[in-house]
Amino acid sequence: MIQNSMRGIILFILVMVLSFGTVQAQDQEPLTNEMQNLLKSEPFNVGLLLQSTANFSLTDDGFNGGRRFGLGATRLRFGGAIDGGFDYVLQMDFRRTSSVVDAAVGYRSSEQFYIKSGLQKPDIGLDLAPNPGRTDFISRARLIGVMLNTREVGVSASGNFDNFDYNIAIFNGTGYSLNNDDRFMYLAKFGYNVDMGNNRSLYWGANGALNTTQGASVGNSGLTSREDRLIYGAFAKYDSESWFGAAELLMTSFDTPGVGDETITGAYVTIGNKVTDRDELLARVDHIGYNEIDSSTQLFILGWNRQVTSLISVQLNALGLTGDGDESFGLAANFQFQF
Residue 107 lies in a domain: no
Judge whether 87 lies within some domain.
no
Element (H, E) at 82: none
CATH code, domain carrying 156: 2.40.160.10
In a domain, 222, yes or no: yes
pLDDT at 1 over 80: no
In a domain, 132, yes or no: yes
| Mean pLDDT computed over 128-151 | 96
Say if 101 falls within a structural domain: no
Write the DSSP assignment of 236-271 as a string of letters: EEEE-SSEEEEEEEEEEEEEETTTEEEEEEEEEEEE
> For the chain, how many structural domains are there in total?
1
Task: Please count the other Cβ atoms lying within 10 Å of the Cβ belonging to residue 298.
Answer: 15
pLDDT value at 27 more than 90? no
Note whether residue 38 is domain-resident: no
297 CB-near residues (< 8 Å, 6+ apart):
287, 288, 289, 321, 322, 323, 324
Residue 150 maps to a domain: yes
pLDDT at 25: 53
For residue 21, what pLDDT is reported?
55
Statement: residue 16 has pLDDT above 80:
no
Q: Give the model confidence (pLDDT) of 279-293 as tens digits.
A: 999 999 999 999 999
The pTM (predicted TM-score) of the whole model is 0.89
Q: Which domain holds residue 327?
A: 49-73+119-338
Task: Give me the residues paired with residue 211 across strands.
Answer: 185, 229
How much is the pLDDT for 324?
84
Band (71; pLDDT cuts 50, 70, 90): very high
Q: Is residue 81 part of a domain?
A: no
